[in-house]
């Protein structure tokens, strides 16, 4: 079972879009997939078309130990989802000791998936630390522009800290270039800079800028359900094949 945190503390870089559509591509490839939404914005949950009415319990109740994993998870056409909702932000205020380990405890006995993907919030706070304490891999979606590239070093420092104090074995297994537009020279420049400074980390497949990827969440659909012939669907499928081939 590969457990992968989709992480970047910068906001709006394509974490949720990548989590949802990689999960969907994995399912198409015959893999058993669990998506954990550990962002209090609950955007992966919404992207999958789950509304408050569909969700009886969320990851928040599971982390607090009030319900089991099985009670909180939802089967959405064959992809299992541990959904989130807004009150997850209150985890910060709960008086539990060693709060970084709550997700790991919830997941202790969970088996039977090929892949667990965790959609992280845009911060390195307690929710993200829960993801990083449990996961064994990190995949970083990166918008190929100057500030996001710069911010990634910040992120790597945070990951180093996590390796030292919480999870020795965790590794960054790949970087996804998102919202790529070959006509933008900054995209091409940052692409070659990333290749140079972090050789081998960037997936060959770049996810191109694609309107269908922006539209799909409002229909509660993955890109494969919404427009299976779009560039977004093609790119996420090729990218997912690369991720699957890694191990």
Ligand X SMILES: Nc1ncnc2c1ncn2[C@@H]1O[C@H](COP(=O)(O)OP(=O)(O)OP(=O)(O)O)[C@@H](O)[C@H]1O
For Mg ion, give the closer residue by CB, 37 or 80. Answer: 37
Give me the 110-129 binding string for ligand X, x by CB under 6 A, dash otherwise. Answer: ------------x-------
Window contacting ligand X (CB under 6 A); options: 14-22, 86-94, 183-191, 221-229? 14-22
Phi, psi of 75 (to 5 degrees): -90, 115
Q: Does 178 bind Mg ion (CB under 5 A)?
A: no
Q: Does 13 bind ligand X (CB under 6 A)?
A: yes
Residues 38-97 that bind Mg ion (CB under 5 A): 43
Q: Which two tokens stand for residue 102?
A: 């709550």
Name the residue among 201, 57, 33 with its Cα closest to residue 117: 33
DSSP assignment string, 60-98:
HHHHTTSS-HHHH-EEETTEEEE---GGGGGGGG---SS
* Residue (67 or 203) nearer to ligand X, CB: 203
Is 32 or 89 the residue whose CB approaches ligand X more closely?
89
SS3 221: coil
Range 28-57, binding ligand X (CB under 6 A): 39, 41, 43
Q: What whole-number distance in Å separates Cα of residue 4 and Cα of residue 195?
A: 22
Work out what residue 13 binds among Mg ion, ligand X, none; the CB cut-off runs from 5 to 8 Å by kind: ligand X
């Amino acid at each position: 079972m590969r457990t992968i945190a989709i992480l970047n503390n910068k906001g709006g870089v394509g974490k949720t879009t990548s989590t949802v559509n990689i999960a969907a591509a994995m399912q198409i490839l015959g893999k058993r997939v669990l998506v954990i939404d550990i962002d209090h914005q609950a955007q992966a949950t919404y992207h999958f078309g789950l509304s408050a009415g569909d969700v009886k319990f969320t990851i928040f109740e599971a982390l607090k130990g009030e319900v089991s994993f099985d009670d909180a998870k939802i089967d959405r056409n064959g992809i299992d989802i541990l959904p989130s909702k807004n009150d997850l932000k209150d985890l910060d205020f709960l008086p539990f000791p060693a709060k970084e380990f709550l997700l790991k405890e919830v997941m202790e006995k969970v088996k039977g998936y090929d892949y667990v993907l965790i959609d992280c919030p845009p911060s390195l706070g307690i929710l993200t630390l829960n993801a990083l304490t449990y996961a064994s891999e990190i995949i970083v979606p990166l918008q190929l522009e100057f500030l996001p590239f710069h911010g990634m070093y910040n992120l790597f420092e945070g990951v180093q800290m996590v390796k030292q104090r919480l999870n020795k074995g965790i590794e960054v297994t790949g970087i996804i270039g998102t919202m790529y537009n070959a006509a933008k020279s900054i995209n091409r420049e940052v692409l070659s800079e990333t290749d140079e400074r972090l050789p081998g980390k960037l997936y060959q497949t770049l996810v191109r800028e694609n309107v269908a990827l922006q539209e799909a969440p409002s229909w509660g659909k993955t890109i494969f359900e919404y427009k299976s012939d779009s560039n977004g669907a093609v790119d996420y499928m090729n990218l997912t094949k690369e991720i699957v081939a890694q191990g």
